[in-house]
Amino acid sequence: MFTDITREIQAKDIKRLLLQVYKKYQRGEITDATAYRETYILNTILKAIEVTDLEQRLQQIETTLRNNE
pLDDT at 60: 95
Distance CA 15, CA 57 (A): 21
What is the pTM (predicted TM-score) of this model?
0.78
Contact predicate 11/50, CB 8 Å? yes
pLDDT in tens, 5-39: 557 889 999 999 999 999 999 999 999 999 999 99
pLDDT at 68: 87
pLDDT in tens, 40-66: 999 999 999 999 999 999 999 999 999
List the Cα angle 36/2/17 in 5-degree steps.
Answer: 45
Distance CA 46, CA 18 (A): 10
